[in-house]
Structure 1
Amino acid sequence: MTARFVLVPASYVYLLREGDAGTEVLLQLRQGTPYMDGHWAAAAAGHVERGETAYDAARREAVEELGVTDLALEFAFTMQRTQHADAIDERVDWFFTARSWSGEPRVVEPDKAASIGWFPLTSLPDPMVPHEAHALAHLSSGNAYLTFGF
């Protein structure tokens, strides 16, 4: 019998706005975390907790990390990903966008984020968390399901 793998769920929120160079996305520069410090990532993202929907996790993370509420969440796609040749620890990520919310986005957890910034989708900062760069490259593709790392 094949051993079952662990599936880790997470939700990501990309706040979007129109800027001079087209659509912009709000990103955070990770710091003080065990994963991808010094890389740019979704300004709000995190694991889905037991008994929580992906939508609820997205809303919770937006409050916890950016201090914004009342997001008009739009489902973008789901991504299945792994970092291994063998399926040991796989992830399923739900990506959402929002073009309206209440409050001014700010760094609420300075121990986890050095800063936040708006970037045109056509000119993302470097370095980016690799699977998020892949996600943002496909944001307008219309694909409901993406994979990364297989």
Structure 2
Amino acid sequence: MIIEKILGNLHDIDVKGRKLDTIDIEWYEVNKKILKKDSSLGKEIGIRLSEHRKINDGDILYMDDSEIIAVNIPESEVILIEPKSMVDMGTMCYEIGNQHVPLFLTEGSIMIPYEKPLMELLDKKGFNPKKEMRKLVNGVECHKHSHHHQHEHE
């Protein structure tokens, strides 16, 4: 089965007794336009999205009267940090940004994929990081860009 567009999200519809089949898509795969995956019920699914958009947890890839195939972003090891102030938040984001790792926000906390050296750095800086299993969703978009400088030469 080839999927070319997202039909909606499980959070917005009533499943109404349909059989729910899921496809695990890792957090680092959500921006890919082409994927090949097996569903939890063993169906081979090709994803080739016609529009460029991020895949989200709960996105519906297929739906008929009897079944729904939806995306599941599985939990993974994360570093969870809960800033105590805006100064803490800014300082943490600065430290994390210097490491060029993805950043995920929840109400009141920051999550990043677990890396032991970063965990040790954040602990050393006094941010009290915790290692937990969580879904990495709500990532902060990082737009790559280049700088073009115009110089006048005499």
What TM-score, normalized to structure 2?
A: 0.22
More strand by share: 1
Bigger relative CO (Cα 8 Å, ≥ 6 apart) = 1
Q: Which has the higher helix share?
A: 2
